[in-house]
Structure formats: structure tokens, C-alpha cells
A and B are shown apart, each in its own frame.
Chain A
């Protein structure tokens, strides 16, 4: 039997290549996700270990990465001198590290900044745990004065700066922008990779003057061990000298902690990508089932002959499955290779949004290979099992017959099973909405998948009215050719439905995302319109914080009535992350109208917080309760002064006062400024004054309410586009699936095509026929998908209405254009099969067996 399998594989190269394609793409997505996240992890791990010395000393708890908001605590410089006495230490270096120092290129563009940090510190000659110097001076000289800086090589190149040029910098301090002469270039570690982060080197005293008020302090102190001294011995020795309130950590421990924390964030990215890989695989499974079903159907006579010659059911079954196995192995191998290319593509995609991996390694780990093959083989074997089982049921006597019909389960059973799956999926989704957190999301996801597969099973029945409606239009527009196309679509409802289901799944998700995105945009617009009283807003489009100096300067301008400052940070509430906003309670009212569900704004002060309604519910907080928020500097207790509804202008779990946040040890850096002008001042005049203040800094911009709303919409769009791009792969698989099915159908109907040509159907008419069939399949998938997407979209929006997306908005025009686009996709998918059909030699076609 193996020989038969092998011969079949060789004889049907093209058909199998087509079915293998679905596997290739699915596996490629899985492999690509892993390779990319490994590359990401590798890059960050390299940076961490490349910057960590044998022992690191920091303010207690400052090593945590999973909070943001800059820690304001420092270490007195005198500690360095004390530590230098230790015989175990070879070198002791104090570092002042500042985040939020960005380089502006020669053309006035921000370098990096859209996610990766802008780091600044003083030069040191420290050796990292990797054995490499953390920094080396590659070219020029080190900065020595207040108007001199050095940059890392990559940043200087991207910004097009040469030594001697005047560099523009954005800083979180005062002044918020500065110009300095570039005196030298430094290389970071051995490779120079910084994952998109930028590095600015200041003179040790200058950085203290600029960002630490001239105080002789450091943000952390690093030690390298003398010869024959281990990290642990060095740590224990340092521990003796270091006072309370500081952590002394070995380099290995410190790096491992940092890498774990980063790994957690990267794990999220990997999960996010793998969700799309799963979508691609589900779509791919449909295609593999479909392809093998068609292949088995076309070979049913040959299989019956095998049975007649004495092959057992088991052998026939095994023959089909071993074909699938070979195809899956080849497909997985190619998929793995393509996954590598896809990872490069993902790198470019993430590079666009600012996560620049530079020359990072793209490792293909053993785990990636194993997962890729496992996924490819298992999915294919599952997909081929049903057709194989059906093939084995062919009775030997059918070999003698002209037309062999495969035994098929009735559509009624399919429909019933589909309906049960939909019902189960709805129940799961309901349970998911009632639950919370990751488990709730998982239930919603599984529920959606169950509904999608259920609808796919019911699609042969559900799709009939859609096909009939299209058929009516086809007959009106294309006459007999239209009729033929419609009839071809209807002749094998399972095949049509399975093929369009792939597109349906992709479009369901696209439609769902577009509805959520649109609802988010409209909700944001509404929140801004309803609650914002300030006329002008200063914000940073990249989400970075900016210097408090801007607020101070704008407050002094003529015609400005008030400036309300917002800051952001995160803290821990118990085990969970809490997202904080902070504002001056006295000027809150000047910026926006914040409605309060319970409690009062009047009790909001430095000792109290306002809580969002969702957080109040999930953490069971009421007015008057005490809530303990943990910051890097330690825990801080606040009284709950009031509860505000989610969905207004304030996103976040807690609203603190500026004073409260500063007392918690977070360095003052602003995220938003709301500006109200004097009633009689002209807006244009106020605007131009503010713009003068913000000059030189392309990241911080002035907007009116409308522009601010647009900026918010832009942020939502960015997220949407990334998701669309990732879902695009599922759509590509779906297009290939349509091409595949049509190509196989054309092969199957060679004789019919010959007959049609013989009785006078022209090549053009034949192409039109195939094209119309393709369009019908795609539009069917699109219509089902958009309908499902709308259903899911409404359900999801209702479920998360209390998390800020409180307005449902369905982008009908966009959804309609998806259907039209699907029609075009159909045309595209039909190009090759139509050409093939049209090129068939009439005589050969009618005389084929």
C-alpha cells in the first residue's frame, strides 16, 4: 500500500502542493510568532545582561520593570567612596540614569521614542556580567561641558548627526529642550543593539545639574568583582557597608529578574501573535479538509478499485492518511522556512511602530521546530481523517460503476451539530462575559470559535438564500453563464460552504475589530465632547511623559486662565496592576467635568483618591475605605473620596492628586495639559504663544478639542491596522483556499468544460463563469462573516460598555466595502483556475475519462 501512496503523491504534485499551502501558511504563522518573540527576548536579554555589573545597588524595590512612572529616589554619592574601600570590589561606579531624553534628528523628527525608552546617563568604564564593556568610546571625545553630549552610534546615524554637529534633545527636566554639541560616539556592548532605545551620554556633573538639582546623588551604583571574588562574595561584602533602604543584588540575580519581567511582557506579545496563528490554522484546517475531500472524491473510483483488489478498509484509510502525513511534513518544513521570513516581516512591522530590533538574532529554537511540526502534522491528520474515513467506506463494487458517489453524512445532521455548537458557543461566551480576567477572555474566545465552526457547519444551509439571491442577479446580468455559475456553486453545497467558511472566519474577526474600533472612537469623541471644558490640550502623541517646565511656562502666558496638569503612573493593588492618573484637585474642574457616582470631589485631596466604577466593583471599594497602593518606593495608603463612572475623559483605575503621587516617590513628569483661556482672550493669540513655548519639540503638541479627538482616533487606528495586518494572513489563506477549490473543481469538471466549449461557450464566457462562481463563494463568506462580526461586535461592546466603550457604532460603509472587497478577492482567486479552464483543449477535454 505504501507504494500506492507514494505513486499518488508523485502523480498529484500540483493538487497536493495546493493543499500543502494551507499547512505552510498556518505553520509559518506559528513559527514566525515564536521566532519573532525569541528574537525580541534575545535582544532585550542581551541589553539587560550587557548593562548589568557583578553587583548592583538600587533604592529598595526599584528593580521592578512592570511599573512606570519614574522613581524619584536616589543614592548619596558618598556611598561610592565607602564601597571603593572594599578589597572585593575592583571597580565601583555611580550612575545617574534618566529616562525620557530623546534625540531630534536634523530634519526635526523624533528618533525612536514610540515605545522604546530614551536613555541618558554619565559615561562609565564598567564591565558587564557578559565580560564586555557596557560602553566604549568609538569615535571622538567624551562630553565635558553642559553644552556637550555623546550619542550611541545607531542613534547618531539615524538622526544624521556627525561629530561637531549641534544636537537637539528633548528632556524631562528644565529646560525641556536643549541643544548641545556632539563630541563623540559610543558603542553599547559589543554589538551596539539597543532594540530601538536611544542613548545620550552626559558629563557626570552635568547630568546631576540638569536632572538632579545639582545634588551629589546616583540612581544606582554598580560594582565589579576583583579577581577570584564571586558575585555572592562581593554582594555580601557590599551589604555590610550599604545602609537600610537600598537593595544589593548580584548581577545574575538582577539580570534574571529583569529578564523575567521582560519575558512576561514578551509572553503577552507571543500570546497575541499566537492567537492570530490559531486563527490562521483554523482557517487552514478548513482548507485541508476541503482539499482532501475533493481529492478523495476525485479518486473514489481508484480507491474502489483498490478495495476490489482486496485492500481492506483500514488500508485505504491508511493510504489516504499517509499521503496527508507526507504532505504535512513537507508543508511544515516549508512553513518553518516561511515562518523565518514572516518573523523578518513582523520585525519590520514592529519597527514601524518603534520597536526597532536592529541586527538582533533570529534564533530558530528546538522548541519552535517541534511546535511547528507538531502543529502542522496534527492539524493535517485531523483534517484528513474525515475524508479518509469516507474513502474507506467506498464499496468495491463501485469500481465497476461509471459514477462513484461518496457516502456523505446528510446535511440535516450537519445542521443539527452546527446548531448545537452555536448554542454551546453562545453559552460559553455568556459565561466569559460574566467571568473576568484571562479566564473570561479564554471562554469568550472558545465560545466564538465554537460559534464560528457551528456556523461553518450550517453554512451549506444558511448560505443557500445568499447564493440564490446572487444567482438571481447573475442571471439578470450574465444570462446563461450566470446561471451556470450559480448552479456550479449550488452543486456541492458542502464544498462551497467549507471554502467560503475560511473567508467567513477571517472577515468575522475583521468586522468585529472594526466595530469595536469604531465604537471606541465614537465613545472617545463623546467623552471628550461631553466632559472636556478646557479649550486647548498639550499632549505627547507617542505616549511619553514630558517636562513639567511646559506647564509652568504656559501658566504664565497672557490670556491663559488655567492649566490643569495630568500625570500617569502604575502601582500594585494587591497582586494586580493599577493604572493611575493624577491631577491637581483644585484645577480639575477647570479642565473637565467629572461626574461622580458616589462620594464627592470636595473630599479629594493629597490623602485621598477617586476610584473608577469598574475598579471599585472588582476590588470591592467604597467611599471612606482605605486603599493601599504599592509603588516602587513602597506602599502608600489613601482614602477613597469618590467613585467616578468609566467612559468619561478619565481612563484608569484611580485618580490621585499630584501631591499624592509625588509623595509616593514618583518623579513629576507630565502626560497631559488642559488649558483654559481667559474668556476675552483670542484663541489664536493664546495658541501662538503656547506654540512658541513648545517650539523645538516635535513630540509635544498643542491641539484643540477636535484635534485632540483626532489624535485619540489615530491611536485607535494604529492598533486596528496592526490587527488588520495580522488578520490579513487568514484572508490570504482563504483566497488560496478559493483558488484551490476552484482549480480542483475545474480539473474535476474537465469533461463538462469540454462539452460547454463544444456547444459554443467561448473562452471569455468560460472565464466569466469561473469568476462568477469564485465571487459567489467569496461574497457568501463575506456576508456570513460580516453578519457574525456584527453579532460578535454588539455582544462584545455590550460586555465592555463599562470599560469606556459605552457607545455602539457600526461602520456600515466599511462593512459594506468588506463585502465588495470580498467580491474583488473572488475575482483575484479565480484568475488562475479561470485561465486553466479557458485554455483546456476542447477535444482533449471531452474525451478525458
Chain B
């Protein structure tokens, strides 16, 4: 299996072209781009107290690929995902999901976008406790008033292996089963992108492996785009590409990573981050 080496991102000023596909940015492999962020700036607070959580981030996320976003705590990886998933807004820059720019969309349109084009898998509390597994899976479709594609539904259910659990409520399911239900919900509406925020953070290694294998197969077998935020090198090893963030900036990326590669890169990053912190004082 071909694996690209870690290559540092040039620290040149970013050109102000609209929607570039230049080599300064973390560029997706292959042709289509499912999601793209360009020169995204996200600032919290005002004046002297302001902190840039994202400081000019530009990344293309390839369609039909499984991408991981990694970085130490405070690197901005969660903020990036929230901004991409229409849960938060950027201070400046552009975010595209399936060719739609998020800037300027109102709450109604953003809600519709999340409903129709985005799938979510959170770390925990993914499911509505009052609904059965099946109702949870169908939730995004049913609130949109869309018909469930039975065949696709069956495929998804069989892939996650939940057929005998469909009538159960979340509290009757194990943590791993709950996450698989969440994955099924994210996929059943055939979204443009599935965002997974530490989907295995609360799971043991066996359950984690099941969930990750499922996300992997949804990309390989069903041409789904998955973007996952994680701090777990093992989880990252399931992906096609890992983008590393530090201090709100893209600092590196790996293609077809192994867990060891990722672990190594993380060590470097945290060392640099500690050094940077020390230098700052």
C-alpha cells in the first residue's frame, strides 16, 4: 500500500484567490471535493482578549474519502468541524458543503442543510432517548417528510448489523450499538458529508473497531464521504488521510496513515506546541 510521507505545509502568505485549488492548501486526493474550507478564521472574544481558534485554515475534503482531522487539545479541530457542519459560523473565510457556501445562510437554510446534506455522529448522546433505534435512524428523513428508501435502509441496517435491535430504545442498547445506530442514522439520508466527532471516544476497543470498520466500509462500498475528528491514532489509521491542526493552523497531513505514523506525528506536534508555548513566555 502506498503511503505518502509527512510533508510540512509552506508558511507563505495565503493568496486571496476565490476557491483556489492551489498547492498551499491541504488538497484532497482524487477528483471531486465534497467539502472545502478556505482561509477560515474563527475568533472568540473581542479586542485584546480575542483568541483565534482557527487562524486561516484552508482544506479540501475529497468526495468518497475518509478523512481524519487531528491535533492536540485547543488545536481548533472541533471548532473546524462545527463550522463545517453548519453548527457554528466562521468569522471570515468560506465554507462549502457539496458546492453550497454556508456564509450568508440563515438559520432555516442551515437547518435544512444539516438535515439534507450532513450526517452526524457525536461522541455521546447521539440518540433521542424516547425513540426506538429505527425511529432514530429515520429521524432526519421523517422530519424532512422524505420517504425512506427501503432498499438502502436494509443495506445500511445489515451493514451495521442492527436488524434485531430496531425496536429497542437507546437505553436498551450498549454503547457500541448506540454508536452504530448513530452511524446508520447519519448514512440513511445519503448525505453529502458525514461528520463524526470522536465517534469512538466513549467505546472500548472492540466496539470502536466495529464502528470504524463500518465507517470505512461506507466509504469503500457506498461511496460516502466521512470526515472524522479524533485524537486516537488507531481510529485515524482507518482513514485515507489525516490532516493535522495546531494552534488553529493546518500544520501537516498524512495519506493512508498507520497508527504508528500518526502517533509519531502527534508526538512531534505536541513537542512543538510545548516548545512554542515555552517560547511565547
CB A347 to nearest CB in B, in angstroms, measures 49
User: With a CB–CB cut-off of 8 A, which chain B residues contact A483?
Assistant: 131, 135
- Chain B residues with CB under 8 Å of A763's CB are 107-108, 111
Indicate if A473 sits at the interface (CB-CB under 8 A): no
- CB-CB < 8 A to A480: which residues of B? 135, 138-139, 142-143
Is B233 interfacial (CB 8 A cutoff)? no
A479-B145, A481-B143, A843-B82 known; A760 and B88 CB under 8 Å?
A: no
Query: How many A residues have CB within 8 A of the partner chain?
Result: 24
Asked if B144 is at the interface (CB within 8 A of a chain A CB), the reply is yes
Within 8 A of A (CB), among B132-158: 135, 138-140, 142-145
Given the known inter-chain contacts A484-B131, A761-B111, please indicate yes or no for A846 contacting B122, CB distance below 8 A: yes
* Proximity string of chain A (481-493) to chain B, C-beta cutoff 8 Å, 1 when within and 0 when not: 1011001101100
Tell which of B88, B111, B115, B142 has the most Cβ of chain A within 10 Å.
B111
> Which residues of chain B are near A751, meaning CB under 8 Å?
125
Is the CB of B163 closer than 8 A to any CB of chain A?
no
Q: How far is A762 from B116 in the complex, measured between Cα atoms in Å?
A: 12
Is A416 engaged at the interface, CB distance under 8 Å to the other chain?
A: no
Contact of A765 among B116, B126, B138, B143 (CB under 8 A): B143
**Are A843 and B111 neighbours in the complex by a CB distance under 8 Å?**
no
A-contact 0/1 string along B98-142, CB 8 Å cutoff: 000000000110011011100010100111111100010011101
> Complex Cα distance A837/B222, Å?
36
**Residues of chain A with a CB closer than 8 A to B216's CB:** none
Most buried by A among B87, B116, B126, B131: B87
Checking B87, B127, B130 against A758 with a beta-carbon cut-off of 8 angstroms, the contacting residue is B87
Cross-chain contact B88 with A843 (CB below 8 angstroms)? yes
Query: Interface 1/0s, chain A 468-509, versus B by CB < 8 A?
Result: 000000000001110110011011000000000000000000
Interface pair A758/B135, CB less than 8 Å apart: no
Q: Which residues of A contact B180 (CB under 8 A)?
A: none
- Which of A748-767 touch B at CB < 8 Å? 751-752, 755-763, 765
Is residue B36 within 8 Å, beta carbon to beta carbon, of the partner chain? Answer: no
Residues of B within 8 A of A760 (CB): 111-112, 114-116, 140, 143-144
> Does A842 lie at the interface of the complex (its beta carbon under 8 Å from any beta carbon of B)?
yes
Q: Which residues of the partner chain B approach A758 to less than 8 Å between Cβ atoms?
A: 85, 87, 114, 120, 122
Please give the distance in Å from B121's CB to the nearest CB on chain A: 11
Chain A residues 796 to 848 lying within 8 A of chain B, measured CB to CB, are: 842-843, 846
- Is B241 interfacial (CB 8 A cutoff)? no
- In angstroms, Cα B107 to Cα A760, docked, is 11
Type the 1/0 row for A510-538, where 1 means its CB is closer than 8 Å to any CB of B. 00000000000000000000000000000
Q: How far is the CA of A389 from the CA of B128 in the complex (A)?
A: 30
A488 CA / B129 CA spacing, docked (Å): 9
A487 to chain B, nearest CB (A): 3
Instruction: Given A480-B139, A843-B82, check contact A759 B120 (CB 8 Å).
Output: yes
Q: When the two chains form their complex, are residues B111 and A757 in contact, meaning their CB atoms are under 8 A apart?
A: yes
Residues of chain A with a CB closer than 8 A to B144's CB = 760
Could you tell me if B128 and A755 are in contact, using CB atoms closer than 8 angstroms? Answer: yes
The minimal Cβ–Cβ distance linking B136 to chain A, given in whole angstroms, is: 9
User: Is B249 in the interface zone, CB < 8 Å from A?
Assistant: no
With both chains docked as a complex, state the minimum distance between the C-beta of B265 and any C-beta of chain A, in angstroms: 27
Hey, which chain B residues are within 8 Å of A491, CB to CB? 129-130
- Chain B 73-106, CB-CB to A under 8 Å as 1, else 0, gives 0000000001001011000000000000000000
Would you list which residues of chain B between 211 and 234 have a CB under 8 Å from chain A? none
Residue B190 interfacial (CB < 8 Å): no
Docked Cα-Cα span, A846 to B197, in Å, equals 12
Structural contact, B140 and A759, CB atoms closer than 8 A: yes
Return chain A residues, CB-CB under 8 Å to B120. 758-759
Are the C-beta atoms of B143 and A752 separated by less than 8 Å?
A: no
Contact A762 B142 (CB under 8 A): no
Residues of A near B82 (CB, < 8 A) are 843
Partner of A762, one of B111, B127, B139: B111
Closest to A489 in B: B130
- Rounded to whole angstroms, the CA-CA distance of A169 and B125 in the bound complex is 80
Of the candidates B129, B138, B142, B185, the one whose C-beta lies within 8 Å of that of A752 is B129
A480's closest neighbor in chain B, by CB? B142
Are A755 and B122 in touch, CB under 8 angstroms? yes
Instruction: Give the complex CA separation of A625 and B82 in angstroms.
Output: 95
Which residues on the A side are within 8 Å of B143 (C-beta)?
Answer: 479-481, 759-762, 765
B174 to chain A, nearest CB (A): 14
Residue from A481, A487, A756, A759 whose CB has the most chain B CB atoms within 10 Å: A759
Query: Given A480-B138, A480-B143, A760-B112, list of 17 further CB < 8 A pairs?
Result: A479-B142, A483-B131, A484-B130, A484-B131, A487-B131, A752-B129, A755-B122, A755-B125, A756-B128, A757-B111, A758-B120, A760-B144, A761-B115, A762-B112, A843-B87, A843-B88, A846-B125
Give the 5 A-B residue pairs with the shortest CB-CB distance, closest first. A760-B115, A487-B130, A480-B142, A843-B87, A760-B114
B-binding residues in A (CB < 8 A) = 479-481, 483-484, 487-488, 490-491, 751-752, 755-763, 765, 842-843, 846
Which residues does B use to contact A, with CB under 8 Å?
Answer: 82, 85, 87-88, 107-108, 111-112, 114-116, 120, 122, 125-131, 135, 138-140, 142-145, 185
A-B contact pairs, 18 of them (CB 8 A): A480-B138, A488-B130, A490-B130, A752-B125, A755-B126, A755-B127, A756-B128, A758-B87, A758-B120, A758-B122, A759-B115, A759-B140, A759-B143, A762-B111, A762-B112, A763-B107, A763-B108, A846-B122
